[in-house]
Amino acid sequence: MKIFFILLFFTAFNGALLGQRSSYNHCTGAVFAPIEDSFSLSFLGEKKNNQIWLVLLAKKTGVLSLELICNGAALHPYKGVIYLSDESYCAPDLRETSKIDSLTFEIKQRKEYKSIPMERNQYATICLETEGGVKDAVFFNSAFKATKISEEEQILDFTYTDLLPVYSIILRDGQNNNPVSGRIILQGAPEINGSYFASQLSINLKQPIKKGSIKIEAPGYFPIEYKEHRIPLGATYIDTIYLNGFKAGELTKLEQVYFIAGLPEIMEESYAQLNRLRDLLLLNPQINIEIHGHVNLDENSAKKAQKLSKQRAYMVKEYLVENGVSPKRLYPVGFGYSKPVYAQPKDENEKEANRRVEILIKDN
């Protein structure tokens, strides 16, 4: 028998949640989900902290309605908490500086609805908890109604004078060149530091930036991060960033996925990208993927290169399986260096382009 619940939240956490664990039963591995969608996630059956974490982002000021349906063999105690903050509560470097409000709820044995007011660009970070060892599935029905229809979603112009140079970021879909609205996080100088939601952002610059950073997150796209990014000082300077979406039947490169040189071990800075792939698969159970591993031609013999590329593809699969994705949906393939981006790489950048992981999305 189905038991209906609405908006479950839990307040007790411990230091383990603040570590680098990437599974979505930990805060730092929270699923980044669309604010208007229906999907399901399952408890992973941990003996302690058996939780589900997910994050929703409001593009406009409005009201979030969230329904949860738990389909379990028996009634278990469920609790939960929702955090409303300017940044995701699960971002370790932002947790102490973000303005955070929280709402705590107890489970009731009846169908409930909760209306949660949210501000534009605000995050709702949700944690659900049940008994240790339970692997029940939770079905989420999320809806959002904007209350300020006139709010501009795409273009943010924060320039305040024509006397200073203008720096702009434009987000585009890598397949069709259409505008994409996403979260833009900038660091590097006081005049640009901040978090914005836009498809086009313009800001005045007072000085060139030698080692800035840009992080881009948009639902339905893989995240992108640029470290030590240089922004020169000129009358105008534009960074057009193309995001890779999830297109069935097309190869998509996994940006920012790195391995230890000559080894199949995944480096920690790859987790954000792999978690977005995990989110895609968890929220779209009809999708299966091939994972294509490629190495550069200078990595030993053809036989060793083939083995290494297959091992790297397999490690990506293992990471996804450990984070709740069924292994039956994942097919690792190694290509060695048989399909290089650059047949004769001239520098380290071209060699790095050859060392890549791609996915082929199958809509089965």
Q: Transcribe 30-66 into DSSP letters.
A: -EE--SSEEEEEE----SSS-EEEEEEE-SSSEEEEE
β-strand pairing of 166-173 with 236-243 = parallel
Under 8 Å between Cβ of 45 and 117: no
- For the chain, how far is it from start to end, CA to CA, in angstroms? 29
CA 335 – CA 324 distance, rounded (Å): 26
Q: How buried is 179 (Cβ within 10 angstroms: 0-12 exposed, 13-18 middle, 19+ buried)?
A: middle
Written as tens digits, the pLDDT of the chain (364 aa) is: 333 333 333 333 333 333 344 689 888 889 988 888 889 898 989 998 899 999 998 888 999 998 888 776 556 777 888 889 887 777 655 555 556 778 887 656 545 567 889 988 888 999 988 889 988 888 888 999 888 766 655 788 999 998 999 999 999 988 788 888 888 989 999 989 988 888 999 999 999 998 888 988 887 777 787 878 899 888 889 999 998 776 667 777 777 788 887 888 888 888 888 888 898 888 888 889 999 999 887 655 778 888 999 999 999 999 999 888 999 999 999 988 888 888 888 887 788 788 888 888 886 6
- What domains sit in the chain, N to C, each tagged with a CATH number? 3-146 (2.60.120.380), 155-243 (2.60.40.1120), 251-363 (3.30.1330.60)
CA torsion sign, 162 to 201 to 122 to 144? positive
Look at the pTM and tell me if it is higher than 0.85. Answer: no
